[in-house]
Chain A
Amino acid sequence: MKIRRIKKQTITIFAALMITSLMLLPSIEAAPYYKGKNITVLVGFNAGGGTDTTARIFTKYFGKYIPGSPSVIVKNLPGAGGVKALNLIAEKTRPDGYTLIFQNWVPVSQLIKEPGVRFDYSDLTIVGGAQGPPFMLFARTDAVPGGIKKPADIKNADKLVYAGLRPSIPLDIFGRLSLNLLGLEYRYVTGYRGAAKVRAAIKQGEANITTHALNGYRSGVEPAMAKDGTVTPVWYFQNKDEQGNYFKSKDINDMPTFMEVYEEVKGGTPSGDLWNAFSVLRGLYSTASWFFWGPPNMNKEATKELQEGFQKMMQDPELIAESKKIAGFVFKPASTKNVQMMVDGLDDIDPDTIAYLKKFIADATK
């Protein structure tokens, strides 16, 4: 009897416990997805470079804006111009939202199907995108007999030698496309191993014209070479607004846009295959140029929290101040919807344009 009573008591207690725990369950479920977790952000380049530095600025603030305050860690996985890390995210990473990638935008590699490219942007999960510093072109002042007095003087250059990194890199593509549009004669030298080597070549006079991202120009070229007049900024490449019209950046007032120089040198607006390729590519770069991506079909809850966290982070005044100090530029966030439209746009590009681009890149080293 006694035993039975004890048993009964045990069952009652057990049942009570069960009920209490069931009642507690919803509150456990409501704990943030990222509570006590780590987020690893892959960077497909070596530490210390432009992408890495930018990634580290963002990751420093990101955790603060994700519910549960996960710690966000950068891991470098350099290779094949960032393609290796993108492949890994596209193919091998678990879609649990604990591994993301921070990368600059390389749609051309996907469009022309470079060897080794296996990712497809439209499969990746968007976390957030931001518009970074624009590309700009500068030249040695002595590239033009008598010196470059105003940017349009570049048309009088007699022997331009363009210092390039690799024909399929956006910097080189935009640089070459713009020079071709102006009909300038130049020698394209490819294979400089990084921006520092390009600067050395310009400083030495081995080459006399090249393209940089604005932040690299501001920190690495302006103080050492532009101040003393060795080089002159020639133009920057402006972006298109949502209606597809080019607009001037409010942050840059010491150099004209490419379109302005074109108008002064050639008059009117350009047309033809070359212009078409240029225009399509400019469109691709107008929404954003730096991204956090997740693997395909990433966990819905994680995706939502990351996307919201990203937008909130981009408003952080400290982040804005820091990126201004380090990159000399404030990154402007793009909405998830716009990034989605941009990615979808990749599929709509005319095959002829892609073929033209492919040939244009191959021709660089002929």
Chain B
Amino acid sequence: MIDSMLTALTMVLQWPAIGFLVLGVFIGIWLGAVPGLGGILGLIILLPFTFGMDSVSAIALLLGMFAVVTTSDTIPSVMLGVPGTGASAATILDGYPLAKKGHAGRALGAALTVSMFGGVFGALMLGLSLPLVKPIILAFGSPELFMLGILGLTMVSSISGRSIIKGLISALIGLLITMIGYSDAVSIPRYWFDLDYLLDGISIVPVALGLFALPELLELATKDVSISRVPKEGTKGGGIFDGTKDVIKNWWLALKSSAIGTYVGMLPGLGGEIVGWAAYGHAVQSAKDKSQFGEGDIRGVIAPEAANNAMKGGALIPTLGFGIPGNIGSAILLGALTIQGIRPGPEMLLEKVHITFSIVWTIVIANVLAGFLLLFWCKQVVKVAYIRGHLIVPASMLFVLMGAWMSSASIGDWVVCLSMGAIGYIMKNGGWPRPPLLLAMVLGPLLENSFQLSIQTYDNFTWLIRPVVMVIIALIGIVLFLSAKGIVKTKKSKSGPSQGEGSQKNPAVSLPFTVLLLVAFIYAAIASLKWPKFAWEFPFVISFPAILLLLFAFYKDTREYFGERKEFPDLRSYLERCTQTIDLGNSLKFFSWVLLMITVSLLIGQLITVPLFIGIYLKTWGKYSWKFSIVYAACSWLVLYGFYDKILHVFWHQPWLF
């Protein structure tokens, strides 16, 4: 055994394998740091290059890249509040508030250190667990996955925001969005309004970018603030190595989160997005002092970042052991290995054991390398936190829009991104937590699918008494009990989160949104009635509780509205105050600007429009010189043409005018 471990190590360290590994790490860092790209895209681009390579070099290139994407994806999550990839979505909750406080360095330091730790942990577990995990994998069928999904949603809804009701509704909105398009079980499209774009359902990338990135960019643009609202001099204890120290202090949490990452990532069907949330939920639930979560608690960064790197090793366990990929990334890797003539199955532990170990070593080396590279480089990244908003907005906007575009290369992606931006703006200002919506979008298809598969496979509800299902049901009970206890405690002490997600109180914003949602859910319920059983069940089951909860939210919003309204002499002065708090005028200007850009793109194409708008934005909003604006715009054109067109072969919109 030790022999083959050492043989594998020398194989990985040999030229050219080690060269490909380093190359892979650099590509992975770039793909993770740019929102909307991600490791799967990397696998697709690199795959054809590996056809002619030897197995170890191919593994070094692909896995070197894939393993570290979840290390660098923390950068946009912390710096911009935009998830670099879905796997670091949970990091936003505390990472971005830390950056706003001027602690970006600390958040990144902690994230990078713990990513390294998690990645190595996951790889070692891959090596150790491969022979042992068969019973675990075989115990998780559709019923167990369904219950796990419910557990995840319960956890996130109960930890975010001032109001559990709004948290739950937010999750239900996410679930309803995933009902759009073809249902898995029958060829019936739902809620598609004869729009081809909607047949496929709405992809999570434009939603995530719209929901989180646009409201933040809007704030940077309209207020022209830097990401760190606190000047550099005022940030003590926010350095990179403070973050590393935080990890050492919270080593137990890091270890537990890595284990969550490995073993949840191992279950087929649960991707990186879910493990991040699961670890975050665990961090909140197990913490004694919960008051800082959502406002910049470093533990909220440590947990998801450990888990999402550890998951990579975990997901490979069933992939290599039984040819059952844990998620899409592993599925593509499996394809790549097959091309190399490596076939999953018991032989990965017998005659091909050196390949298994070279995979383990590649993940270990890649994680350590990326961790150290970024720790050294991170000082420069942190400086971004102190740059003027107007300089950051155009470049971020380009990557956000292109990230959204990559999901299906349709103008619909941009429309969804913009609409979700508006919804995100309303939710942010109206006290509606956004994370449950995002997680529900990840879990929605899994929940509906595993529910229907369970019902079809087992007679009705007999699957509820399967042992693992019962254990998870008990866990859900514990989560509900603990969070109910927590809410009572917070209410008594009145020290609930005051800045975090879902903490704003603004009934004049929230009330119209509540009414809108009520109409949407009533429509959804009625429209679902005409579909066959499999298509109809889930949307209806979602709409029913949503309508009840919304009626309750409506009652609470109205009460708050009249409570606040009393303090003003007339309706007009009240509304004026409200529009001022949310900066409505400037926000509308910002959204119209994006809308105009989309319209012009339709006419003359994106390659011209996007740089054009970037130039005009810098000149008019930022008041920069013509020369500067033109150079900036030219650089953005180069990125669009050189990177997106020539390297990624993006399918552009065909302009209507020519």
Binding site for B on A (CB under 8 A): 40, 42, 47-48, 52-53, 56, 60, 73-81, 83-84, 87, 92, 114-116, 161, 166-168, 187, 189-194, 196-197, 199-201, 203-207, 219-225, 227-228, 322, 325-326, 361-362, 364-366
- CB-CB under 8 A from A190, the residues of chain B are 184-186, 456, 534
Instruction: Scan residues 182-220 of chain B and give those whose CB is less than 8 A from a CB of chain A.
Output: 182-189, 192, 196, 199-200
**Are B323 and A224 in touch, CB under 8 angstroms?**
yes
In the A-B complex, list the 6 residue pairs whose CB atoms are closest, starting with the nearest: A191-B185, A47-B44, A224-B323, A223-B343, A48-B332, A224-B345
Given contacts A47-B44, A48-B44, A206-B141, contact A75 B325 (CB under 8 A): no
Give A112's nearest chain B residue, CB to CB: B187
**Are B339 and A114 in touch, CB under 8 angstroms?**
no
Docked complex Cα distance between A221 and B345 (Å): 9
**Are B408 and A79 in touch, CB under 8 angstroms?**
yes
Docked complex Cα distance between A92 and B656 (Å): 11
25 A-B pairs whose Cβ atoms sit less than 8 Å apart in the complex: A42-B651, A47-B41, A48-B332, A56-B47, A56-B48, A77-B409, A80-B196, A116-B189, A166-B185, A190-B185, A190-B186, A191-B185, A191-B534, A193-B445, A200-B269, A200-B318, A201-B453, A203-B324, A206-B141, A223-B347, A225-B323, A325-B339, A326-B339, A365-B185, A366-B532
**Are A80 and B200 in touch, CB under 8 angstroms?**
yes
**Are B200 and A191 in touch, CB under 8 angstroms?**
no
**Are B187 and A168 in touch, CB under 8 angstroms?**
yes
Grouping DSSP codes into helix (H, G, I), strand (E, B) and loop, the A interface class, with mixed when no group exceeds half, is mixed
Docked complex Cα distance between A83 and B197 (Å): 11
**Are B186 and A167 in touch, CB under 8 angstroms?**
yes
Docked complex Cα distance between A324 and B334 (Å): 18
Query: Of the candidates A75, A83, A161, which one forms a contact with B649 in the assembled complex, judged by CB atoms under 8 Å apart?
Result: A75
**Are B457 and A199 in touch, CB under 8 angstroms?**
no
**Are A365 and B345 in touch, CB under 8 angstroms?**
no
- CB-CB under 8 A from B268, the residues of chain A are 196-197, 200
Give B43's nearest chain A residue, CB to CB: A48
Give B184's nearest chain A residue, CB to CB: A191
- CB-CB under 8 A from A87, the residues of chain B are 196
**Are B344 and A224 in touch, CB under 8 angstroms?**
yes
Is B606 positioned at the interface, with any CB of A under 8 Å from its CB? no
Determine how close the nearest CB of chain A comes to the CB of B410; give it in whole angstroms.
8
Give B452's nearest chain A residue, CB to CB: A191
Determine how close the nearest CB of chain B comes to the CB of A350; give it in whole angstroms.
22
**Are B184 and A166 in touch, CB under 8 angstroms?**
yes
Docked complex Cα distance between A73 and B648 (Å): 10
**Known contacts A200-B324, A205-B138, A206-B141; can you find 19 more A-B pairs with CB under 8 A?**
A40-B651, A53-B335, A78-B200, A81-B182, A84-B199, A115-B188, A115-B199, A116-B199, A166-B184, A190-B534, A191-B449, A191-B456, A199-B324, A200-B318, A219-B343, A224-B344, A225-B322, A364-B186, A366-B532
Determine how close the nearest CB of chain A comes to the CB of B485; give it in whole angstroms.
37
**Are A325 and B189 in touch, CB under 8 angstroms?**
no
Task: Kindly state the interface size class of chain B when it binds its partner.
Answer: 35 or more
Is B620 positioned at the interface, with any CB of A under 8 Å from its CB? no
- CB-CB under 8 A from B138, the residues of chain A are 203-205
- CB-CB under 8 A from A187, the residues of chain B are 456-457
Is B415 positioned at the interface, with any CB of A under 8 Å from its CB? no
**Are A220 and B409 in touch, CB under 8 angstroms?**
no
Give B51's nearest chain A residue, CB to CB: A322
- CB-CB under 8 A from B650, the residues of chain A are 75
**Are A220 and B187 in touch, CB under 8 angstroms?**
no
Is B580 positioned at the interface, with any CB of A under 8 Å from its CB? no
Is B5 positioned at the interface, with any CB of A under 8 Å from its CB? no
Docked complex Cα distance between A265 and B268 (Å): 37
**Are A192 and B341 in touch, CB under 8 angstroms?**
no
Give B463's nearest chain A residue, CB to CB: A206
Determine how close the nearest CB of chain B comes to the CB of A77; give it in whole angstroms.
6
**Are B331 and A189 in touch, CB under 8 angstroms?**
no
**Are B335 and A48 in touch, CB under 8 angstroms?**
yes
Determine how close the nearest CB of chain A comes to the CB of B613; give it in whole angstroms.
25
Docked complex Cα distance between A166 and B322 (Å): 24
Query: Of the candidates A48, A73, A228, A365, which one forms a contact with B534 in the assembled complex, judged by CB atoms under 8 Å apart?
Result: A365
**Are A365 and B532 in touch, CB under 8 angstroms?**
yes
Docked complex Cα distance between A222 and B532 (Å): 37
**Are A73 and B649 in touch, CB under 8 angstroms?**
yes
- CB-CB under 8 A from B141, the residues of chain A are 201, 204, 206
Give A73's nearest chain B residue, CB to CB: B649
Determine how close the nearest CB of chain A comes to the CB of B84; give it in whole angstroms.
20
- CB-CB under 8 A from B186, the residues of chain A are 166-167, 190, 364-365
Determine how close the nearest CB of chain B comes to the CB of A328; give it in whole angstroms.
9
Determine how close the nearest CB of chain B comes to the CB of A263; give it in whole angstroms.
32
**Are A116 and B196 in touch, CB under 8 angstroms?**
yes
Docked complex Cα distance between A84 and B182 (Å): 13
Query: Of the candidates A48, A168, A205, A361, which one forms a contact with B331 in the assembled complex, judged by CB atoms under 8 Å apart?
Result: A48
- CB-CB under 8 A from B345, the residues of chain A are 223-225, 227-228
Instruction: Scan residues 327-371 of chain B and give those whose CB is less than 8 A from a CB of chain A.
Output: 328, 331-332, 334-335, 338-339, 341, 343-347
Is B654 positioned at the interface, with any CB of A under 8 Å from its CB? yes
Docked complex Cα distance between A77 and B341 (Å): 29
- CB-CB under 8 A from A193, the residues of chain B are 184, 445, 449
Query: Of the candidates B47, B187, B449, B654, which one forms a contact with A114 in the assembled complex, judged by CB atoms under 8 Å apart?
Result: B187
Docked complex Cα distance between A75 and B445 (Å): 26
Give A75's nearest chain B residue, CB to CB: B651
Determine how close the nearest CB of chain B comes to the CB of A191; give it in whole angstroms.
4
Is B23 positioned at the interface, with any CB of A under 8 Å from its CB? no
- CB-CB under 8 A from B452, the residues of chain A are 191
**Are A189 and B456 in touch, CB under 8 angstroms?**
yes
Docked complex Cα distance between A40 and B645 (Å): 12
Given contacts A48-B47, A53-B335, A191-B185, contact A365 B323 (CB under 8 A): no
Is B533 positioned at the interface, with any CB of A under 8 Å from its CB? yes
Docked complex Cα distance between A200 and B137 (Å): 9
Given contacts A116-B189, A199-B323, contact A77 B649 (CB under 8 A): no
Determine how close the nearest CB of chain B comes to the CB of A318; give it in whole angstroms.
11
**Are B187 and A166 in touch, CB under 8 angstroms?**
yes
- CB-CB under 8 A from A84, the residues of chain B are 196, 199-200
Determine how close the nearest CB of chain B comes to the CB of A214; give it in whole angstroms.
14
Docked complex Cα distance between A27 and B459 (Å): 75
- CB-CB under 8 A from B140, the residues of chain A are 204
Docked complex Cα distance between A196 and B329 (Å): 12
- CB-CB under 8 A from B456, the residues of chain A are 187, 189-191
Is B40 positioned at the interface, with any CB of A under 8 Å from its CB? yes
Docked complex Cα distance between A362 and B137 (Å): 34
**Are B199 and A365 in touch, CB under 8 angstroms?**
no
Docked complex Cα distance between A64 and B318 (Å): 40
Residues 366-389 of B, flagged 1 when their CB comes within 8 A of A and 0 if not, give: 000000000000000000000000
Residues 210-237 of B, flagged 1 when their CB comes within 8 A of A and 0 if not, give: 0000000000000000000000000000
- CB-CB under 8 A from B192, the residues of chain A are 115-116
Instruction: Scan residues 522-556 of chain B and give those whose CB is less than 8 A from a CB of chain A.
Output: 532-534
Determine how close the nearest CB of chain A comes to the CB of B477; give it in whole angstroms.
26
Docked complex Cα distance between A76 and B200 (Å): 14
- CB-CB under 8 A from B457, the residues of chain A are 161, 187, 189, 206-207
**Are A196 and B331 in touch, CB under 8 angstroms?**
yes
- CB-CB under 8 A from A75, the residues of chain B are 409, 649-651
Instruction: Scan residues 453-491 of chain B and give those whose CB is less than 8 A from a CB of chain A.
Output: 453, 456-457
Docked complex Cα distance between A97 and B1 (Å): 57
Given contacts A168-B187, A325-B339, contact A74 B649 (CB under 8 A): yes
Query: Of the candidates A76, A79, A197, A366, which one forms a contact with B199 in the assembled complex, judged by CB atoms under 8 Å apart?
Result: A79
Docked complex Cα distance between A84 and B186 (Å): 18
Is B72 positioned at the interface, with any CB of A under 8 Å from its CB? no
- CB-CB under 8 A from B346, the residues of chain A are 227-228
- CB-CB under 8 A from A167, the residues of chain B are 186-187
Docked complex Cα distance between A296 and B41 (Å): 31
Docked complex Cα distance between A154 and B285 (Å): 51
**Are A196 and B335 in touch, CB under 8 angstroms?**
no
- CB-CB under 8 A from B48, the residues of chain A are 56, 60
Docked complex Cα distance between A222 and B199 (Å): 35
Docked complex Cα distance between A60 and B331 (Å): 22
